[in-house]
Amino acid sequence: MPVVIVESPAKAQTINKYLGSNYQVIASYGHVRDLPAKDGSVEPDADFAMVWENDAKASKRLSDIAKAVKESDKLILATDPDREGEAISWHVLEILRQKRAIKDIPVERVTFNAITKDAVLKAMKAPREIDEGLVDAYLARRALDYLVGFRLSPVLWRKLPGARSAGRVQSVALRLVCDRELEIERFVAREYWSLIATLATPRGDLFEARLVGADGQKIQRLDVGTEKEALAFRAALDQGRYVVASVEAKPARRNPFPPFTTSTLQQEASRKLGLSPNRTMQIAQRLYEGVNLNGEQVGLITYMRTDGVDMAPEAITAVRSMIGKSYAPGYLPETPRRYVTKAKNAQEAHEAIRPTDPFRTPKDVTRFLDNEQARLYELIWKRTVASQMASAELERTTVDILVEAGGRKLDLRATGQVVKFDGFLTLYNEDRDDDGDDEDGKRLPTMSAGEALDKKSIAATQHFTEPPPRYSEATLIKRMEELGIGRPSTYAATLATLRDREYVSIDKKRLKAEDKGRLVTAFLESFFARYVEYDFTAALEEKLDRISNHELDWKEVLRDFWRDFSAAIDGTKELRTTQVLDALNDLLGPHIFPDRGDGSSPRQCTVCGTGTLSLKLGKYGSFIGCSNYPECRYTRQLSAGADQNGEAEGGGEAGTRKLGADPESGLDVTLRDGRFGPYVQLGEGDKPKRSSLPRGMSAANVDLERALALLSLPKEVAVHPESGKPILVGIGRYGPYVQHEKTYANLDKDDDVLAIGANRAIALILTKESGGSGRRFGAGAPAGRPLGDYPGGGSVEVKPGRYGAYVTNGKVNATLPKGMEADAVTLEQAIELIAAKAGKAPTTGKAPAAKKTPAKKAAAAKTTAAKTTAAKKPAAKKKATKAIVDSDEVPFDTD
């Protein structure tokens, strides 16, 4: 019986139904091995030899796969049709060879772009070998990510305390966000005025026209720059006589957008649905792997990691057939539309993301999907169908108006647009990231040349230019794609890493560069400039794509990169702290020390008056301090003065804001900026009472009432039900906590330290005392969600747990794989997970594993004894540098 290897249980279940009982389909649960997170996993001196380590959780599954392969007559590797899928197949095959499970049986590689019966059966008839070019490209990317992470991140730790990590693509994406922040800070607003006339035709129809010329000269948007100029034009327009000079109506067409790629799907899902790129890919993964439709597992969309914009001929035919049956004749063009990708090297020439069956409308499947799945499927379906519909027919009208006023001739213009035939717009229109005024969208009344117009009013309006907007997740992905930085499959992970490292934050759906991120970017620009250059990163991506096309040798690319990169790393060994600080002060000067507007030096200390403020590096990160330390102890955070000029609000010490007086003691309550963040303080003196602001609480929202509440901590919130002693709540070095005698439990991120109730505090303490984490899903945790009956008896539930959600049958608990959401797990998936954890296949009619013979038992006992003896020996101490490696490849989601 042939053994088929796929990534996930859901995919295995669906494909097994298509292939029947003559095949055994087994899930690898994504990647089965990776580079160990320690020095020496990639050895440049040994021609980039790579040491792989099997995933500890995958050992049992790999043993099961090896056993099944030994008893089979063929191995079919059916992982996803991209570089990552090729890598998983390669890893599985390498491990099976190490286990000597592959003897004389043939090994085949098959790929399919959609999990449908036709696609799977067709793929089985066209096997191939593993594509070494794709594997080499994967190895090169993985080695580069490792080398950058393990060699550059430690430099950051030594020279820039508080920095977390650097990454080959991550750091360049961060620079984009930081550069935009710098543009905003350097932006100087410019005043300009617009003049709009409201006019009426002889038939009484009103419309608006804009001043576009005067005395034979064109007037651009910013040309009227003062109120004096604007009022002079308005006075002339008030006295003028208005005549239609010309009316020009031109036909126009708007063509439909191509079907989704990974990038455009992430962008539109962000704009239209408010989904993060990472969440979009998780939902798309489920739609691709299949959902239960009336008892049948069906893949609803094609593969969702792609640069391709075209569709297979049979898919185009099906979409056109659906349009012909569902819409009027004019909506179906005479010939099919073909799209060509603009990307330099489309990822493995995949199809665009499309429904597997266009006749399966969103209305037909909504009841089988959760809300997010239904909305994303509808978006994909509409975009795909619209891509094969007729163009929209428009009419764009331009009316030029001549105004004669006291010997002057002024020109006004009115523009409008009419949709004559909506075409594809009847179904789909793409959103824009930064909408502006759309005057062309207005419809103009009927006019003809020579007609006199009646002036109703003239509006002179003051405007100021605005800085470029911060990137949203959608616009950052778009910009990265334009520059050729990263690849679509990496965008979601890259953005998630920037947020997780706290290098950026999201404010009103826009990415804001945090001080930590700006410091890292400034450091890299100062000492590793080449490796955060956009062109260099794009050129390296192109080389990696050429490796996948068998055009370059992957180790030669690594040698070229390592030669210069290792020299740059070595160049920082003698780098002194003063050199780092000088470079950062120079690059971040406008951000850290904004102009005060009074002619004084922005770096002069406003407390002692003689010291110079500069960036300092401390044990816990960076801060601003005075050069007269320790005589002057003024410190503040990088960007957090009391205001942007570094002056105290309401007088007093810089970085201090008075909130009011404590009604009990009469002492002043102040909000201050310290080197470790904002805090509140009661009174003055050597040891005044202070309290840090808990994470998530904005300094701008702290008033006297909230400050007094913080200063009252720690305070009693409950009494322990067994000991009768108080349970306190407070804020410590590691954040908010509850305490009972010597037992401490951290509050969850959703808990409010000022509003936590007695029941919640008791639950946290009891959970911690019983050996739990003391967090949200400990004692008092919500009940699990029942899924159904387990084949061997008992009921299956999904529950929240200490280390994440898990499924259980009452006897065996199995943690959900990364990316699998608790609210979306099915009974079938749960049974697979429980069975895998229990070390046996679920009850599916297959023969049970053979029992161990006495000889095997003796051998097993001998092996166990040997392991026990080895475990008693003291482990050799080895100093290793632990680094965070931010891979730009995305592990396969196993949901």
Digit-coded pLDDT (tens) for 388-399: 999 999 999 999
Q: Mean pLDDT across the stretch 374-402? A: 95
Question: Residue 349: is its pLDDT beyond 60?
Answer: no
What phi, psi does 237 have (nearest 5°)? -65, -30
pLDDT level of residue 556 (50, 70, 90 thresholds): very high
pLDDT level of residue 572 (50, 70, 90 thresholds): confident
How far apart are alpha carbons 517 and 525 in whole angstroms? 12
Do 746 and 734 touch, CB atoms closer than 8 A?
Answer: yes
The continuous run of DSSP H or E covering 373 comes out as helix 371-386
Q: What pLDDT score was predicted for residue 646?
A: 38
Q: Write the burial class of residue 778 (CB in 10 Å: 0-12 exposed, 13-18 middle, 19+ buried).
A: buried
Q: Mean pLDDT across the stretch 200-218? A: 94
Q: What pLDDT score was predicted for residue 183?
A: 92
What phi, psi does 571 have (nearest 5°)? -70, -15
Q: What pLDDT score was predicted for residue 252?
A: 92
Q: What pLDDT score was predicted for residue 885?
A: 39
DSSP-derived 3-state class of residue 317? helix
- Considering all CA atoms of the chain, what is the largest pairwise distance in Å, rounded to the nearest integer? 114
What phi, psi does 877 have (nearest 5°)? -80, 130
Residue listed under structure tokens 């020279």: 159
Token pair for residue 668? 């002043």
The more confidently predicted of residues 780 and 411 is 411
How far apart are alpha carbons 398 and 376 in whole angstroms? 39
Q: Write the burial class of residue 496 (CB in 10 Å: 0-12 exposed, 13-18 middle, 19+ buried).
A: middle
Q: Give the residue among 787, 790, 789, 791 at the shortest CA–CA distance from 843.
A: 791
Q: Mean pLDDT across the stretch 45-69? A: 88
305: Cβ contacts below 8 Å, ≥ 6 apart: 80, 82, 84, 262, 281, 347, 350, 488, 489
Q: Mean pLDDT across the stretch 831-844? A: 67
Query: What's the 3-state SS for 659-688?
Result: EEECCCCCCEEEEEEECCEEEEEECCCCCC
How far apart are alpha carbons 484 and 190 in whole angstroms? 33
Q: What pLDDT score was predicted for residue 653?
A: 45
How far apart are alpha carbons 186 and 120 in whole angstroms? 56
Q: What pLDDT score was predicted for residue 655?
A: 54
837: Cβ contacts below 8 Å, ≥ 6 apart: 812, 813, 814
Question: Residue 108: is its pLDDT beyond 60?
Answer: yes
What residues are annotated to the active site? 303
Token pair for residue 351? 């199809």
pLDDT level of residue 321 (50, 70, 90 thresholds): very high
Do 795 and 812 touch, CB atoms closer than 8 A?
Answer: no
Q: Mean pLDDT across the stretch 90-116? A: 91
pLDDT level of residue 347 (50, 70, 90 thresholds): low
The more confidently predicted of residues 107 and 166 is 107
CA distances from 610 to 4, 25, 615, 630 (A): 75, 75, 17, 13
Digit-coded pLDDT (tens) for 759-792: 888 888 888 887 654 443 333 334 467 777 777 6
Token pair for residue 259? 């079907």
How far apart are alpha carbons 48 and 533 in whole angstroms? 25
pTM of the model: 0.71
How far apart are alpha carbons 395 and 419 in whole angstroms? 6
Q: What pLDDT score was predicted for residue 679?
A: 87
- pLDDT, the chain, mean: 83
> DSSP state, 128?
B
How far apart are alpha carbons 412 and 209 in whole angstroms? 6
Query: What's the 3-state SS for 229-277?
Result: HHHHHHHHHHHCEEEEEEEEEEEEEECCCCCECHHHHHHHHHHHHCCCH
Of 76-85, 240-249, 540-549, 628-637, minimum mean pLDDT range: 628-637
Q: Give the residue among 484, 421, 424 at the shortest CA–CA distance from 258.
A: 424
How far apart are alpha carbons 95 and 98 in whole angstroms? 5
How far apart are alpha carbons 528 and 654 in whole angstroms? 35
Q: What pLDDT score was predicted for residue 574?
A: 82
Q: Mean pLDDT across the stretch 182-207? A: 93
Of 313-327, 412-426, 514-528, 698-712, minimum mean pLDDT range: 698-712
796: Cβ contacts below 8 Å, ≥ 6 apart: 786, 787, 788, 789, 790, 807, 808, 809, 827, 830, 831, 834
Digit-coded pLDDT (tens) for 111-144: 998 888 889 999 999 999 999 999 999 999 999 9
Q: Give the residue among 338, 336, 346, 371 at the shortest CA–CA distance from 261.
A: 346
Cα torsion at 605, 610, 613, 616 (round to 10°)? Answer: -120
Sequential DSSP letters for 19-47 = H-TT-EEEE--S--EE--SSTTSEEGGGT
> DSSP state, 848?
P
% pLDDT > 90, the chain:
40
Q: What pLDDT score was predicted for residue 695?
A: 73
235: Cβ contacts below 8 Å, ≥ 6 apart: none
